[in-house]
Amino acid sequence: MFFAEVEHKVKTALSVLQGWAVTLDERWDVMSPDARREGVGIVRRAADTLVAQADGMLEEARAELHALDLDPQVLDLSEVLQATAGNHRSPSHTMVVEAPVPVRVRVDPGALQQILGHLIENAVKYSPDGGEITLRTGVGVGVAIMEISDQGIGLPEERTDLIFEPFHRGGGSSDRSKPGVGLGLYIVRKLVEAMGGTIAAQGKPGEGSTFTVRLPLD
């Protein structure tokens, strides 16, 4: 399924590029300035799509390799959350960290950083300026709990599982103007599962989203 979608999207963008390249090459002299600008704009957008697809596939491949070569270490999840929040602070958002007690987990540091980075960047991307992003840690029955909540565009309730599939994007039609091709959360899920954990999402349109990661305690 993954590669079928990749093939479809790449071939579609290549067909657009090829078709308009031929049209512009053969008809440039007889096209109006507006038609030329339209054609060049379409070519640029198709090229941007291909670059984004290539970046996404490379990142997915790196995640696959990383998942096969994890180096679990004992870390304090609260400390990691505090440090990561500091590294991802946004000038247009308020970042709140609720991590009052140490929470020891055995995880791969690089994979955990990649997971947190994606989730925080996602929250920033889909939140309005001035919105609050909250990062929490806690402990459940045998698991460490990590939550990233935002006050952004939210999620259609029927799509909360689909957003972790490749090329599905959570915000529906409202997120098409945002950069990305829909691989970030797929990669996050793969890394979480590779460390024996789970991830889930909750949200309603216009009411923000919460992503909850559960990892085994040390």
Q: Which CATH code fits 2-68?
A: 1.10.287.130
Does the global pTM surpass 0.75? no
Tokens 């103007």 — which residue? 177
> 175-202 pLDDT, tens per residue?
444 544 467 888 889 889 989 999 999 9
Instruction: State residue 173's pLDDT score.
Output: 43
- Here the tokens at position 98 are 């609720």
Domain 2-68 shares a fold with domain 73-216: no
Percent residues over pLDDT 90 in the chain: 32
Cβ atoms 112, 75 nearer than 8 A: yes
What CATH homologous superfamily does 73-216 map to?
Histidine kinase-like ATPase, C-terminal domain (3.30.565.10)
Domain boundary assignment for the chain: 2-68, 73-216
> 84-112 pLDDT, tens per residue?
888 887 788 888 999 989 999 999 998 89
Cβ atoms 146, 136 nearer than 8 A: yes
Neighbours of 134 (CB within 10 A): 18
Q: Helix, strand or coil for residue 34? A: helix
**Residue length of the chain:** 218
Closest CA to 49 of 87, 99, 6: 6
